[in-house]
Copies of this chain bind each other. A is one copy, B any other.
Amino acid sequence: MKIGLLGFGVVGRGVYDILAQRKDISVGTVLCRRDLGELTARTTRDMADIIADPEIDTVVEVMGGLHPAFEYVSAALKAGKNVVTSNKHLLCHYYQELNQLAKEHGAVLRGTAAVGGGIPWLVNLERAARVDQIHKLSGIMNGTTNYIMDAMNKSDVDFADVLKKAQELGYAEADPSADIDGWDIQRKLIISAGVAFGVCLQEEDVPVFGIRNVSAADIRRFQARGLTCKLIASAEKLSDSVAAYVEPKLLGADALEAAVPANFNLISFESEYAGKQSFFGQGAGRYPTAYNVVQDLADIASGVDRFYTDKFQSAATNNAGALHKYYVRTKAELPELEALAAEDWDGAVVTLPVSVAQMHSLLQKMLEVDPQSFIAGL
* Closest chain B CB from A344 CB (angstroms): 28
A118 at the interface (CB under 8 A from B): yes
Interface residues on A, range: 35 or more
Selected contact of A259 from candidates B259, B264, B272, CB within 8 Å: B259
- Identify whether the interface residues of A are mostly helix, strand, loop, or mixed: mixed
Smallest CB gap from A260: residue in B: B256
Contact A295 B255 (CB under 8 A): no
Chain A to chain B contacts (Cβ below 8 Å), 15 pairs: A120-B277, A123-B127, A124-B124, A127-B295, A127-B298, A131-B298, A253-B253, A254-B261, A256-B260, A274-B291, A275-B282, A278-B278, A302-B306, A303-B303, A303-B304
Tell me, in angstroms, the Cα distance from A213 to B7 when the chains sit together.
Answer: 58
A interface residues with partner B (beta carbon < 8 Å)? 14, 18, 22, 118-120, 123-124, 127, 130-132, 253-256, 258-261, 264, 266, 268, 272-282, 285, 287-288, 290-292, 294-295, 298, 302-304, 306
Tell me, in angstroms, the Cα distance from A272 to B127 when the chains sit together.
Answer: 25
- Write out the residue numbers on chain B whose beta carbons fall within 8 Å of the beta carbon of A273: 14, 18, 118, 287-288, 290-291, 294
- Write out the residue numbers on chain B whose beta carbons fall within 8 Å of the beta carbon of A124: 120, 124
- Write out the residue numbers on chain B whose beta carbons fall within 8 Å of the beta carbon of A292: 274
Tell me, in angstroms, the Cα distance from A253 to B252 when the chains sit together.
Answer: 12
- Write out the residue numbers on chain B whose beta carbons fall within 8 Å of the beta carbon of A123: 127
Selected contact of A131 from candidates B14, B18, B272, B303, CB within 8 Å: B18
* Closest chain B CB from A28 CB (angstroms): 19
Tell me, in angstroms, the Cα distance from A115 to B22 when the chains sit together.
Answer: 29
